[in-house]
Structure 1
């Protein structure tokens, strides 16, 4: 074992969770570079469509694995009250940071009245708060309730349309609250986190049984998606898109049942392979996966700064006005980057993040006495 692999092993931590979470973070960065490039989210061009599509695994995997990590951390604490307090405090911290510092990193805009976003970190934070209550239920009730919520999520749409606050849970009208843009609602994402919490128990099984169950569950989800998705894509309302685009272009806001099957199934199936994967690339992903929130905040700030610098080089101006409402960027069509430049910036971002995250991961591991480090 090399020196790097030694400190990455981290005792009782499951390497597969860190590795998969790190890979998810890398895919997420592609989409956020796309935001600042001005490139549309998908479209008829296969390269642009796939550039967007591969990033769909990010939010599903991150929420699901957040639930898994909560279960495993609870096993380490062996104290449900301490776990509940941790989930509440960390969840509320994420919500506050989403509305303040993270929003600033996205927009560099201090006019909070003009634009506010309930994004993925907002959703993760509130889901953690809700999970802090759910963990007091019988264990089986937690993950079964999560699966039911994912399956019958549309019942939340039946709330009266004049309940504007309900839009934070699930869309019940065309317009949400006027003071904030709700990008990620809590249903069915809290269900995904609860299901991930239940999945954490499976990961404590002995390796042979764990790997067999992961493959069975993951491949079953993929099969159901292919069969059901093909029926919907083949016999549902048609448009000018090819069949494969209709199959893969599932609804993300809020995520449909097919979207969740498409994105969570492969992640579960990959757990056995991720657990035994080695090499430099696996180590890079594992480093990112050990410090996901640090990576998240830093990557937005870094991409935003690089976009301003590149605009200055290409167009003679920073054009910060394009990003005042990011991630709803408003880059003029004739100033959008092409895919080669998008991926070049993405690789530069990942290179810089690797060194920063490696330093922070080592610092975090070598200072267990600093309790605040577990929140970042």
Structure 2
């Protein structure tokens, strides 16, 4: 008789934090479904963006950086299972990265628009994560100190290049746009490609997750790990206060005093996401590290619910997009367009966005729990990629 090797237990703090940021992300995606007639710029226009919209968008900022950082952590843990010998991770990351690129230009694009991407392809967060995984696969064999240095340079140094623009006829325009600038990568072609998430800073984030992951190994106690994550998180926020407070570096949109304290705070916290500025990443990754410290060794009903979502991230991501697409089409069919050519929530009823999100969570929980359980007990290799 033969037995399958026992799978290492999942780390609750990682799954719970991943689940938390994905649920917060849903607020922004509900907004982009039912509030798209009132779009939000990047960075946001403090003078015209209502506070409830601003802070809902700000909360959603934490999702992508924390998720990409945890992807790097999870990749290292996959390569270094507890109590076992290291296993090769390059092929796994390459295949997973390529799968994410394929999903982005097919299933994900359809889930966002309801149309097959035959003319325009949008490269968003799944594209950025896929590219970051492919790069991590190629460099994972390098020394951790070197990977940490590369990650810090990419995260902290790309703001130096923010003002450098290349014209579409420049031979490096495509590569430059894919790496650092939001906009059209290909426009005057049969198939147009529009980029939302330039990939280079996200490569830096996943590398930092990879080099931070050994804190979860047996070499460190829970107390040491909590102190390290808390110290790193507070260090990120302290550096942010200095850089942002004096408008020194890290954000190309300087803050300025507003007509009241609320708008002054909004201006201070108004960071560029596309590509993520250094200040944006200091805020979000600092908060993520503090949450990792807070969730360590915590096991209760809340963390178990969050871990259910965090344990099946790709399944949750695709499912919630299709649920939102179906819900929007249903509302449009029932009530017709009430905001120009779209159906949407009235501007003075933004609270409905929060309500829709709150209703979405229990609707997604049971399918995600069923898939997470199937993922844990099945031997099918493809399930690991979701």
TM-score by length of structure 1 reads 0.87
Q: What's the offset of the Cα at 1:276?
A: 2.8
| Change beyond 3 A, Cα 1:122–1:23 | same
Counterpart for residue 240 of structure 2: 225
| Change beyond 3 A, Cα 1:130–1:359 | same
CA contact (8 A) 2:229 2:293 kept: yes
Q: What's the offset of the Cα at 1:169?
A: 0.6
Counterpart for residue 64 of structure 1: 69
Root-mean-square deviation (CA, aligned residues, Å) is: 2.5
Counterpart for residue 109 of structure 1: 115
Q: How far apart in 2 are the matches of 1:372 and 1:111?
A: 25
2:283 to 262, 284, 292: 262
CA contact (8 A) 1:73 1:83 kept: yes
Q: Which has the higher helix share?
A: 1
Counterpart for residue 100 of structure 1: 106
TM-score by length of structure 2 reads 0.84
1:181 partner SS: strand
Counterpart for residue 4 of structure 2: none
Counterpart for residue 275 of structure 1: 296
Q: How far apart in 2 are the matches of 1:285 and 1:334?
A: 28
Alignment of 1:135-284 (within 5 A): 135-156=140-161, 158=164, 160-161=166-167, 162=170, 163-165=172-174, 166-171=176-181, 176-178=185-187, 179-204=192-217, 205-232=220-247, 236=254, 238=256, 242-284=263-305
CA contact (8 A) 1:167 1:177 kept: no
Counterpart for residue 39 of structure 2: 40
2:89 to 56, 79, 83: 83
Counterpart for residue 125 of structure 2: 120
1:117 partner SS: strand
Q: What's the offset of the Cα at 1:219?
A: 0.7
Q: What's the offset of the Cα at 1:232?
A: 2.1
Counterpart for residue 370 of structure 1: 380
Is there any run of 5+ residues in structure 2 with no aligned partner, and where? 1-6
Is there any run of 5+ residues in structure 1 with no aligned partner, and where? 1-9, 323-330
1:356 to 327, 342, 367: 367
Q: How far apart in 2 are the matches of 1:159 and 1:78?
A: 47
Q: How far apart in 2 are the matches of 1:287 and 1:250?
A: 31
Q: How far apart in 1 are the matches of 2:166 and 2:337?
A: 47
Q: What's the offset of the Cα at 1:364?
A: 0.9
| Change beyond 3 A, Cα 1:275–1:335 | same
CA contact (8 A) 1:309 1:318 kept: no
2:356 to 341, 345, 365: 345
CA offsets per residue over residues 307-361 of structure 1, 9 Å max, x none? 2222334x24699x96xxxxxxxx4788668222212211221111101001011
| Change beyond 3 A, Cα 1:232–1:316 | same
Q: How far apart in 1 are the matches of 2:78 and 2:301?
A: 27
Q: How far apart in 1 are the matches of 2:272 and 2:186?
A: 22
Q: How far apart in 2 are the matches of 1:181 and 1:126?
A: 16
Q: How far apart in 2 are the matches of 1:174 and 1:295?
A: 28
Deviates more, 1:253-262 or 1:200-209: 200-209
Deviates more, 1:287-296 or 1:222-231: 222-231
How many residue pairs align between the two structures? 352
Q: What's the offset of the Cα at 1:230?
A: 2.1
CA contact (8 A) 2:71 2:209 kept: yes
Q: How far apart in 2 are the matches of 1:28 and 1:60?
A: 12
Q: How far apart in 1 are the matches of 2:324 and 2:380?
A: 29
Q: How far apart in 1 are the matches of 2:269 and 2:159?
A: 21
2:15 to 11, 18, 37: 18
Q: How far apart in 1 are the matches of 2:346 and 2:288?
A: 36
Q: How far apart in 1 are the matches of 2:80 and 2:165?
A: 37
Q: How far apart in 1 are the matches of 2:255 and 2:235?
A: 26
